[in-house]
């Protein structure tokens, strides 16, 4: 009787484990910048915090985290972070104000380049994702989904092109016009809080010309929001076109500066047309690591349950 009862529990755990893992999304962060970055994560209202809300990512290294079905939130890179003698962490750009490695529910202080996601769930079978410069820019970022979906992001160093009135310090970041001037016209607020009234400005057009697939102002949806059948996995790369690296993914990403193969769109979604071989390669590697992790964790679960069974 005890054996039958425990066998039923084992089957239920087996089903729950695999259905939950299959429906999860893996985000793999890679730092191709010359220096360390400190990625931050923020879940939107109604989405649970991820397993980490902030971590250190040295140059040349990668780290993966998982998100459940239906998760919605954003990622960004903090730069120029220092730790005081009292263990207070402060960053020159993208600081979340927590004073710690973990952002713990706090978002990035502008300016910061944001990678934003809403994953498939009960209300939609698609993932929605974008890279936004609405809150300004601090580092180049690209997002590469698995499964042949479109890559998006900004590979151009906008800090080198930033007008003096938007520049932060000696050029560590580039503010948005909204952050710099605070007017309703630039912030799409008040009487400008709708797409017909809030139009591109000279500053947002500068961002758009350099990074045609990224959000340049609040109502820049038609050419900046992408979808992918969910669940998909995503590679998020900081400084993808770093001069010190010549990886295939960085060579492919150079097409995104508007100079070569940027596809034309009329709707919310940019449809393929391009072959992102590097994206597919990264997706295969990510899937292999995830499959190994699933097998390892299930093995541990199985061994534990067998020990319980032997005890009974």
pLDDT per residue as tens, the chain (312 positions): 454 554 544 444 444 444 444 578 999 999 999 999 999 999 999 999 999 999 999 999 999 999 999 999 999 999 999 999 999 999 999 999 999 999 999 999 999 999 999 999 988 899 999 999 999 999 999 999 998 899 999 999 999 999 999 999 999 999 999 999 999 999 999 999 999 999 999 999 999 999 999 999 999 988 899 999 988 999 999 999 744 333 333 333 344 554 433 332 222 333 333 322 223 223 333 333 344 334 444 454 555 555 555 555
Copy the structure tokens of residue 4: 């039958």
Domain ranges of the chain: 26-293
**DSSP code at position 156:** S
pTM above 0.85, yes or no: no
Domain over 26-293 is classified CATH 2.60.110.10: yes
């Amino acid at each position: 009787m005890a054996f039958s009862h425990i066998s039923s529990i084992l089957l239920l755990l087996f089903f729950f484990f695999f259905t939950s893992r299959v429906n999860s999304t893996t985000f793999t962060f890679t730092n191709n910048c010359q220096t360390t970055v400190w990625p931050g994560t923020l879940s939107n209202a109604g989405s649970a915090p991820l397993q980490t809300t902030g971590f250190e990512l040295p140059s040349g290294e990668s780290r993966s985290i998982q998100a459940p079905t239906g998760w919605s939130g954003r990622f960004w890179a903090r730069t120029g972070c220092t730790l005081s003698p009292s263990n207070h962490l402060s960053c020159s750009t993208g600081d979340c104000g927590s004073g710690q490695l973990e952002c713990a529910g706090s978002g990035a202080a502008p300016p910061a380049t944001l990678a934003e996601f809403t994953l498939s769930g009960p209300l939609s079978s698609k993932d929605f994702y974008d890279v936004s410069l609405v809150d300004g820019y601090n580092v180049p970022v690209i997002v590469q989904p698995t499964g042949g979906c479109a890559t998006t992001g900004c590979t151009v160093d906008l800090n080198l092109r930033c007008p003096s009135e938007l520049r932060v310090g000696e050029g560590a970041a580039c503010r948005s016009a909204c952050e710099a001037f605070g007017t309703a016209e630039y912030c799409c607020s008040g009487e400008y809080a709708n797409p017909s009234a809030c139009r591109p400005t000279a500053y947002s057009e500068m961002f758009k010309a350099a990074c045609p697939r990224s959000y340049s102002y609040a109502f820049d949806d038609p050419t900046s929001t992408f979808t992918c059948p969910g669940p998909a996995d995503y590679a998020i790369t900081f400084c993808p076109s770093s001069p010190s690296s010549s990886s295939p993914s960085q060579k492919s990403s150079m097409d995104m500066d508007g100079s070569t193969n940027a596809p034309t769109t009329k709707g919310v979604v940019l449809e393929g047309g391009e072959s992102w071989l590097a994206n597919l390669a990264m997706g295969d590697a990510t899937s292999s690591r995830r499959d190994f992790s699933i097998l390892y964790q299930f093995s541990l679960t199985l061994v534990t349950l067998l020990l319980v069974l032997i005890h009974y």
